[in-house]
Structure 1
Amino acid sequence: MRQAKLWVLILLIFLLFPEGKAWAQKTLVFVSILPQKYFVHKIGGDLVDVQVMVMPGASPATYEPRPKQMVMLRQARAYFAIGVPFERVWLKKFAGLNPKLLIVHTDAGIEKRHMEQIEGILNSVSDNHQEHRVEHHHDRTGMKDPHIWLSPRLVKIQAENIFKGLVAVDPIHSAEYKRNFNRFCKSIEELEKKIKEILEPSKLNSRKFMVFHPSWGYFARDFGLKQVPIEVEGREPGVRVLQKLVQLAKREGIKVVFVQKQFSAKSAQVIAKAVGGQVVSLDPLAYDWEDNLLRVAKVLRRGLGTGD
């Protein structure tokens, strides 16, 4: 009798899951950076197993996958790319490793901005031709800003691309993915509203903030701010450039210099000391994306605010 009941149960499983997929099995997918894991979890929920390629503390510009990650990629159903530099080399290798892997470009449909040009910023402080020659080369590179995950508006586009990718590899759960996608879009809109209230122009003394690496350009554009980068082509600035940045910080009343753990804080500390300010760490690669952006907005408010 027990054996007969067991066979009935097995038959029901095959009828309910014609592809042989048990309910406990998750769809294995990869993402490039930690914030994407947050996005995919918001849409995929418990139906997906999300693996992150760039480990915490590493840079998406220079990352090289670990052997264990390459082994897991053989079993993955989808890879959600976002346009960070290391993908230029590795996406083709991932596809060659797993021909069935669906590569979803979550930045599809997004027009990327150019990275901040330090030349134009420093022109307002000095007209030293020799020093600007380095910055002009930076301008000619036409480097596009990959940090699209720091804009709530652009994350809604990425979320739609993620939703479509999940449906493509797991159509049986499309209705659940759709519900989660709609819920996530609403929470993004609520987040935008909260940040706009925090960064209300009347509550700020300045709209400019200084960062070592220009990660926050899309965030700044969304909320009417302007970031001032310290680095020159990814490197610490020279003494003359540093002096001009100090002059700029004093003129603009910038008292807080923001850094991230993936880059050096040396020059930021020099500038902060010269203007009687402080260095504050912000992490553009934090997992809890919504809480992280709220924290960034509050930190900016304290650094730029009127004190009201």
Structure 2
Amino acid sequence: MTPSIRTLGTVLAIAAISAAAGCGSSKDDSPSSPAAAGKLAVVATTPEVADFARNVGGDAVTVTQIIKPNVDPHDYEPTPADIQAIGAAKLVIKNGVGLEEWLDPTISSAGFTGTVVDTSEGVTLRKGDPEDADMAEGDPHIWHNPRNAKIMSENIEKALVAADPGQADTYRSNFQAYAAKLDKLDADNERKFAALPADQRKLVTNHDAFGYYIDRYQLQFVGSVIPSLDTSAELSAKQIEDLVAKIKETGVKAVFSESSLPPKAAEAIARQAGVQVIGGEDALFGDSLGAPDTPQGTYLGAEEHNTDTIVRALGG
């Protein structure tokens, strides 16, 4: 397959970064979470899989998270610190489904010889856009169904047990405890949407990040501001007109902005359609989690926030 322009750009950027890293890096570029003595060194790509790894690994692992909150994973460019962290890790945990197209060349540059854990293994994938080479593998936003999050966490548990069998009981116990929390999140989401009349469960979002969520809770997807799984896509004037008309026709109550995307386009479409835009502190977490040390800084908290925000806006 011919590499995409973005992939070629990433490879060139990594080559430059590798050269810079070889000459030494500043203190700010050093990995923020070096492995502590006796702990398994783990690198996780996205905020979601990093949170899963922390919950399953507990005190037995040190997790270095590559992509920080509110950074778009679709267009990420690796840093010298990323290369250093990957080179020192025993496990690299990724979302998979083509989300981290920058990862393979980064791993090569880092000289990583450990295990790469693809958390998407075993997840039933939604089809991606066949005309979008970056999304040909399928929709990568798999974590928005808590049942998928449970599969992803179990894949992490198995990888940790294989890499560090001396702590197997710890990892298995941690996974079981976290799986129970994921089950509760799923049940709570079902209960909250059951209280919302079916004809009000209509969603317009910033981009096509919520397909698994929509399928799981039987919502009606009316459209998105960015009509793609990839946030770099753009809406044409005709598509804007069509989306505004569809919002009016279907009686959608709100357009939901996302925390990691600029809100201006969503605000403009909502204004044209005469409906409210949900943004600011109420923006949905589509590709990211919230800030560290906040409830929304965890997967459970971010997903609870999404559901509560959607139900409140559509039912109000």
TM-score (norm 2): 0.77
1:202: how far off?
4.9
Give the match for residue 106 of structure 1: 119
Check 1:86–1:65 CA distance in 2 against 1; reply closer, same or farther (3 A cut): farther
**Pairs within 5 Å for 1:172-251:** 172-200=166-194, 202-227=196-221, 228-233=223-228, 234-251=232-249
| Corresponding position: 1:156 with 2:169 | no
2:284 alignment partner, one of 282, 285, 297: 282
The separation in 2 between residues aligned to 1:95 and 1:164, in whole angstroms, is 24
Check 1:282–1:159 CA distance in 2 against 1; reply closer, same or farther (3 A cut): same
Q: Secondary structure at the match of 1:230?
A: strand
Unmatched segments (≥5 aa) in structure 2: 1-35, 290-296
The separation in 2 between residues aligned to 1:41 and 1:66, in whole angstroms, is 22
**Pairs within 5 Å for 1:10-25:** 25=38
Q: Secondary structure at the match of 2:277?
A: strand
Larger of the two Rg values belongs to structure: 1
Give the match for residue 81 of structure 1: 94
| Corresponding position: 1:35 with 2:48 | yes
Q: Which moved more, 1:253-262 or 1:71-80?
A: 253-262
Does structure 1 conserve the Cα–Cα contact (< 8 Å) formed by 2:96 and 2:118?
yes
Q: Secondary structure at the match of 1:215?
A: coil
Give the match for residue 15 of structure 1: none
Give the match for residue 291 of structure 1: 301
The separation in 2 between residues aligned to 1:273 and 1:304, in whole angstroms, is 17
Percent identical residues: 27
Give the match for residue 9 of structure 1: none
Q: What is the identity, as a one-letter code, of the residue corresponding to 1:229?
A: S
The separation in 1 between residues aligned to 2:55 and 2:112, in whole angstroms, is 27
- Please give the per-residue CA displacement for 1:185-206, whole angstroms capped at 9, x wherever unaligned: 1111111111111111653542
Check 1:90–1:138 CA distance in 2 against 1; reply closer, same or farther (3 A cut): closer
Give the match for residue 271 of structure 2: 273
Give the match for residue 5 of structure 1: none
Check 1:86–1:222 CA distance in 2 against 1; reply closer, same or farther (3 A cut): closer
Does structure 2 conserve the Cα–Cα contact (< 8 Å) formed by 1:255 and 1:275?
no
Q: Secondary structure at the match of 2:162?
A: helix
- Please give the per-residue CA displacement for 1:198-235, whole angstroms capped at 9, x wherever unaligned: 11165354222001211111111111113322224543
Q: Secondary structure at the match of 2:56?
A: helix
Q: Which moved more, 1:234-243 or 1:44-53?
A: 234-243
> Once superposed, what is the RMSD of the aligned Cα atoms?
2.4
Give the match for residue 122 of structure 1: none
1:292: how far off?
1.2
- Please give the per-residue CA displacement for 1:97-153, whole angstroms capped at 9, x wherever unaligned: 3343111111111221024x7xxxxxxxxxxxxxxxxxx9569x7562101111101
The separation in 2 between residues aligned to 1:207 and 1:295, in whole angstroms, is 16
Give the match for residue 125 of structure 1: none
- Please give the per-residue CA displacement for 1:215-265, whole angstroms capped at 9, x wherever unaligned: 111111111113322224543322222111111101111121112243332
Q: Secondary structure at the match of 2:140?
A: coil
The separation in 1 between residues aligned to 2:89 and 2:137, in whole angstroms, is 31
Does structure 1 conserve the Cα–Cα contact (< 8 Å) formed by 2:83 and 2:109?
no
Q: What is the identity, as a one-letter code, of the residue corresponding to 2:304?
A: L
- Please give the per-residue CA displacement for 1:14-52, whole angstroms capped at 9, x wherever unaligned: xxxxxxxxx953211011101112111111111111111
Q: What is the identity, as a one-letter code, of the residue corresponding to 1:278?
A: Q
Q: Which moved more, 1:174-183 or 1:75-84?
A: 75-84
Unmatched segments (≥5 aa) in structure 1: 1-22, 118-135
Does structure 2 conserve the Cα–Cα contact (< 8 Å) formed by 1:272 and 1:278?
yes
The separation in 1 between residues aligned to 2:59 and 2:111, in whole angstroms, is 24
TM-score (norm 1): 0.79
